[in-house]
Structure 1
């Protein structure tokens, strides 16, 4: 779309009370990134919520499939006749009580690669990386890297002790001024440097 920015912060754009996005999380799309809520969050009829943490990076085409996509699988046909309207709508009770995996929750500092898809009810940990084209069907641990269809755990970015220290530091909860002061440590420093920066926070 002419004149359309390709990168947008999502928090100011989201209108649905069922979607929560943290500060500085962004979506990158050369067509219409401002339409994220309608084009990239699909089958979202409620009541489940989509929660995306702070400082998440979402590449073009990242999609969240919500529970409204479910069809009955216990009968001969999966076709959702009542949703087509007309006299079929008299049987809408056949669409109630479908499986619901609950809220989809994304932690902080998560990087989503191009065209990745997250299925309903998945929980993605802090610092995770979702490889391009992945279809995430199950939970992703903190600092896990997953890829494939269905997405499998490739590796954890850091050892167990380091992950625990990073989670304790929780730099994404720092005041933005403190993050700005220590951005080099956050991006390329050691955990020791992050812990030292955390100790300088007034409330710690």
Structure 2
């Protein structure tokens, strides 16, 4: 894929213009009311209205619906993130005498002290990884330092506290496996095919097969 990623240092939610729904190889479509800080976006990406994206990367074709909150995360290609999701929610210093912001966002309260840079760096370093072609349902929460494997589905309202294998369906609080999407052989072959790395023209050429063929038949056609 020849399109370049676009890095955005800061977008004020009050300054985001209304934009159409036509996606682009040139970078993200960011809808009104979003806050974007220190984040990178691949081509054909989209950030839903009122969302917040902090210190994160959305790879090509990934999108989040409205009011999503994504922090310190890498979101893989073709990830499907529903509304009101939260990925990588930051933590508080629960071992200390207080949990409160004043410990680490101290400049909001006093003029003579800096914020706690070490604590903020610790937060930012706890990366969450969302694999390619995943589906996170409405209201899902994914905790820091969790990896969700390729093709996994997380049911609405689930809270993911541990790594999720590829092509697994998870639900509940905390999220537990319901069943694999496919038999192990199919999942392994899809991982090997890695169609999410195809270029835009290859995706268009295979579009009707993506629409009409079940996974096994698709693999037979494109992997043999």
Deviation at 1:130, TM superposition (A): 1.0
Stretches of structure 2 that go unaligned for 5 or more consecutive residues are: 1-16, 31-35, 40-54
Instruction: Describe the SS at the equivalent of 2:38.
Output: coil
Q: Is the 8 A contact 1:109 1:127 kept in 2?
A: yes
Instruction: Describe the SS at the equivalent of 2:218.
Output: helix
Using the size of structure 2 for normalisation, the TM-score is 0.66
The aligned counterpart of 1:64 is 87
Deviation at 1:9, TM superposition (A): 5.8
Instruction: Describe the SS at the equivalent of 1:86.
Output: coil
The aligned counterpart of 1:53 is 76
Deviation at 1:6, TM superposition (A): 9.4
Using the size of structure 1 for normalisation, the TM-score is 0.72
Q: 1:108 to 1:71 in 2, by over 3 A?
A: same
Deviation at 1:90, TM superposition (A): 7.3
Separation in structure 2 between the aligned mates of residue 5 and residue 168 of structure 1, nearest angstrom: 37
The aligned counterpart of 1:40 is 69
The aligned counterpart of 1:26 is 63
TM alignment of 1:190-201, pairs within 5 A: 190-198=215-223
Q: Is the 8 A contact 1:171 1:198 kept in 2?
A: no
Instruction: Describe the SS at the equivalent of 1:142.
Output: coil
Q: Is the 8 A contact 1:54 1:107 kept in 2?
A: yes
Deviation at 1:16, TM superposition (A): 2.2
Instruction: Describe the SS at the equivalent of 1:16.
Output: strand
The aligned counterpart of 1:32 is none
Higher helix share: 1
Higher strand share: 2
Separation in structure 1 between the aligned mates of residue 61 and residue 97 of structure 2, nearest angstrom: 47
- 1:134 counterpart = 2:149: no
Separation in structure 2 between the aligned mates of residue 176 and residue 131 of structure 1, nearest angstrom: 29
Cα deviation code 1:47-95 (max 9, x no counterpart): xx411111121111111134xx222232444334323432895794894
Higher relative contact order (CA 8 A, sep 6+): 1
Separation in structure 1 between the aligned mates of residue 139 and residue 20 of structure 2, nearest angstrom: 15
Cα deviation code 1:139-173 (max 9, x no counterpart): 11100111111111111111211111110111111
The aligned counterpart of 1:173 is 197
The aligned counterpart of 2:52 is none
Q: 1:171 to 1:149 in 2, by over 3 A?
A: same
163, 169, 172: which one pairs with 1:145?
Answer: 169
Stretches of structure 1 that go unaligned for 5 or more consecutive residues are: 30-35, 200-204
